[in-house]
Chains A and B, each alone.
Chain A
Amino acid sequence: SSELTQDPAVSVALGQTVRITCQGDSLSTFYASWYQQKPGQAPVVVMYGKSNRPSGIPDRFSGSSSGNTASLTITGAQAEDEADYYCISRDDSGNQWLFGGGSKLTVL
């Protein structure tokens, strides 16, 4: 498959939990990684692999994967988490990289 599908917009009340999902056939072969992008800035990786957080990423961020769906969960969302979130993975051949369409997270 050559697509990763994300919900374009997601919202969460301050302090609540939100899950952002990413669907694609290649996710049954390769794990997704997740990136946070704020306006005018480069993306920053927040999750990779099964549920691995790079250093400096708060532990309210967690990840999971099942079948052809990857999820990024923010437990206790903060105002600073408002951003676009993208999932990225490799395609089934491993030669191409796929980007989800991005999910705009609004913290209410």
Chain B
Amino acid sequence: QAQLVQSGAEVRKPGASVKVSCKASGYTFTNYPIHWVRQAPGQRLEWMGWINAGNGNTKYSQKFEGRVTITRDTSASTAYMELSSLRSEDTAVYFCAKSTAIAVKNDYYYYMDVWGKGTTVTVSS
């Protein structure tokens, strides 16, 4: 059974950085990308970026470009999301999610099939 286990809640001051981890189990880590998604209190889900867990290539949302860094450690089957220059608006729950793709005839179906439980990051002075 595929599973993603995230690190615990964090509290940071404005201007600081935070690094959240996401440990995968139950599947071959390097075969599937990992997304990072966040949700501010009472707000919508927001895509931050993703990493190809095999080769380490990343793509980031333009909103977070320059502030977010997604990495992975294949030996630990773990993905990381680091967000810098934190401000109060970054207070949110941060989720990691496993991406998968299924080929059906000439179509490809892409979706996020496994999610971590989320990590609460609070930015407060």
Contact = CB atoms under 8 A, between A and B. Distances in A.
Contacts of B46: 99
Contacts of A50: 104, 107, 109
B112 A49 contact: no
Interface string B104-119: 1001011111011110
A90 B118 contact: no
A45 B111 contact: yes
Interface of A: 30-31, 33, 35, 37, 42-45, 48-50, 52, 54, 86, 88-90, 95-102
B95 interface: yes
B110 to A, nearest CB: 6
Interface residues of B, number: 24
Interface in B40-56: 44-47, 50
Contacts, number: 65
A85 to B, nearest CB: 11
Interface of B: 35, 37, 44-47, 50, 59, 61-62, 95, 97, 102, 104, 107, 109-113, 115-118
A33 B104 contact: no
